[in-house]
Amino acid sequence: MSEPLVLELQVKPLDFLAAGETATHFKETLKSLGLPPDICRKAAIVVYEAEMNIVIHGGGGVMCLQVEEDKVTIIAKDKGPGIEDLELAMKEGYSSAPDFIRELGFGAGMGLPNIKKNSDELYIDTAPGKGTKLRAVIYLDKRR
Amino acid sequence: MAHGVKIAESSCRGCVNCIKSCPTEAMRVIEGKIRILSEICISCGECLRRCPHRALLPEDDDWDYILSKRPMAVVTDPCFCAQFSWPPIPSLTAHALFELGLEPIFEEYEAAYDVAAVAAARAIKNSPETAKPLISTYCPAVVRLIQIKFHELIPHLAPVENPLETSIDLWRARTKKREPVTLVSPCPARIAMVRSPVGRDVSSAEYVISTSKLAREVLIGSGDPSKKVTIDSSTETPRWIAWAKTGGESMHVRAFSNQPVRTLEVDGLRNVISLFQEMELGKLRGIDYVEARACDLGCIGGIGNAESRFLSRIKIDNVKMSFNITEQYKKELEALYHAKVWMLRDEIVPIEQMPLGEDLVKAMEKLKQLHAVYAELPHLDCGTCGRPSCRVMAEDIVRGEGSLDDCIFRLKSRIADLSREIYELSKRLVHTMTPEGK
């Protein structure tokens, strides 16, 4: 087993102009490794949604991409307010985004459900006031 | 893989204006001359716009040779009719072409464009929500961009043949004529469409020439046809003229659909690329059809045109078009639809780019090397190494196609290091010398 490939990028709070850049960058990286398109697509969606969560709620944070021989792992860390009711946040359509963000067309309440849908494993470590750490895993070979 | 761009070596100064404009990073300067990596060139024509020395040209056929061939049929892109001072009415343009001894085949366009619109409308209707939006295949540069950079979007491409090709097929079937056909192209992408078509083996056209060359010939060789052909205010322009500008195709598809179709029109490569990136992230839900054109304002913005794209647009906006059709014609159209004259014969397949390594472990190793090399570079993307960016330079190096010394900044600092070392050496004393330097 060789060392995993690790990429890390900072995400700034409320920077809607740059939002999506991490997703594009990570996706290009995965494509250049020759990974199959559906893996790249799933990973890009996970990264994009997680990145948006950091932009909207997290007050900035770090996005990390890890590639290993059998899986791609996406880690999103922020020092934001944390998620009060995780079960509620996982529901489609539930959003705690403020009005001005919804007016920008974001905050539809699809972020976490979308991440869950596009990853094989999802771990969220969060508590009010403690920030949020999200880890999503996509396996390269589904039969495992 | 043929592309639609020709390099005039003697005019190329080796400046790096063009390489920065290439959306697929397919250009390099090697030994002072431009090179195009044809396997990833999409023939969009951006480099032609950027070249200040006119060293990049459309790769069309020799005009004198085409003129020497008779008889010769011509199939012009709809935007050709908008190149002149007279209104964009095909009967006028046809008159001017007849005067040059060429045989325009405009009469087949109506059926070809109508059936393409019907086919797109039906394809939308028959597609599940997950397969939407469908993407128009009318712009060959857009199709190739998807084949190279947006593999996930390939299933979204509408399997509709270019109506210009269909027109030639219909014309040959109806007239049984065997004379060669020249396609008149507003851009390198339509030239590439003839040279190496996508979705079919060979193009139905034998030759291809730029719009500007034929337009110039018309302007020199024949007078203003509007003085000879009478048109009155009730003269209608055919619907297909609208395809020359962005939005024309969508309008046509909506008009020929029996259900509401939500279309989205986008032009200019920069916009097309951001739209496709958004689409890959699944952000275009609710849209049925995407009309994407590589050139600003659509085909009238092609680099091979003679007329200003702004004036062309006004001309097209000012003509009268009707979408009413007779019951009889409706039946004919239905027959053409079922005869599948509009259908792409072959599947559109992705053009795979070489991954960094043959398997994931090797590719990851290379990518780590690439990051290490990239960290050594100045990140100015100056282009002096002949590559569009430091990132591409790093990639070329790990693929074994370049060295760090190609970077002028790296070279400069190595010369500085070396000269420091030489200076240190020069101060070293040999036994016969004294510190005073005798």
Question: Does residue B348 belong to any structural domain of this protein?
Answer: no
Question: Does residue B219 belong to any structural domain of this protein?
Answer: yes
Contact list, A67 vs chain B (CB under 8 Å): 360, 364
Same-domain pairing of B161 and B292: yes
Q: Which of A32, A66, A118 to mutate to test the interface with B (most CBs of B within 10 A)?
A: A32
- Contact between chains at B361 and A2 (C-beta distance less than 8 A): yes
Which range is most confident: A100-104, A114-118, B164-168, B235-239?
B164-168
Question: Does residue B434 belong to any structural domain of this protein?
Answer: no
Residue in A5, A35, A48 nearest the CB of B281: A48
- Contact between chains at B364 and A37 (C-beta distance less than 8 A): no
Same-domain pairing of B309 and B171: yes
Question: Does residue B231 belong to any structural domain of this protein?
Answer: yes
How many independent structural domains does chain B possess? Answer: 3
Same-domain pairing of B148 and B295: yes
> Which CATH number among 3.40.50.1980, 3.30.70.920, 2.40.50.100, 3.30.565.10 corresponds to the domain A5-139?
3.30.565.10
Per run of 10 residues, the mean pLDDT along chain B (length 438 residues) is: 86 92 93 92 95 94 89 95 92 90 93 96 93 95 95 93 96 93 96 92 93 92 76 80 96 93 96 92 87 97 95 93 90 93 91 82 89 93 94 92 91 94 87 70
Contact list, B282 vs chain A (CB under 8 Å): 45
Show which of residues 62-81 on chain B sit within 8 Å of chain A, judged by CB atoms. Answer: none
- Contact between chains at A34 and B357 (C-beta distance less than 8 A): yes
- Contact between chains at B355 and A34 (C-beta distance less than 8 A): yes
Question: Does residue B343 belong to any structural domain of this protein?
Answer: no
- For residue B56, give how far its alpha carbon lies from the nearest alpha carbon of chain A (Å): 29
Instruction: Tell which of B275, B306, B338 closes a domain.
Output: B338
Domain with B68 in it: 63-338
Show which of residues 217-256 on chain B sit within 8 Å of chain A, judged by CB atoms. Answer: none
Structure confidence at residue A55 (pLDDT) = 85
Structure confidence at residue B283 (pLDDT) = 80
Please give the ipTM for the structure prediction.
Answer: 0.75
Domain boundaries, chain A: 5-139
Contact list, B147 vs chain A (CB under 8 Å): none
Same-domain pairing of B265 and B325: yes
- Contact between chains at A23 and B281 (C-beta distance less than 8 A): yes
Same-domain pairing of B264 and B382: no
The backbone torsions φ and ψ at residue B35, rounded to the nearest 5 degrees and listed phi first, read -130, 145
User: Look-up: residue for tokens 């006031």?
Assistant: A129
- Contact between chains at B364 and A5 (C-beta distance less than 8 A): yes
Same-domain pairing of B42 and B74: no
Same-domain pairing of B381 and B396: yes
Long-range contacts of B279-285 (CB under 8 A, 24+ apart): B279/B133, B279/B150, B279/B153, B279/B156, B280/A27, B280/A41, B280/A44, B280/B150, B280/B152, B280/B153, B281/A20, B281/A23, B281/A44, B281/A45, B281/A48, B282/A45, B284/B133
Strand ranges across the sheet with A5-11: A5-11, A61-67, A71-78, A131-139, A121-127
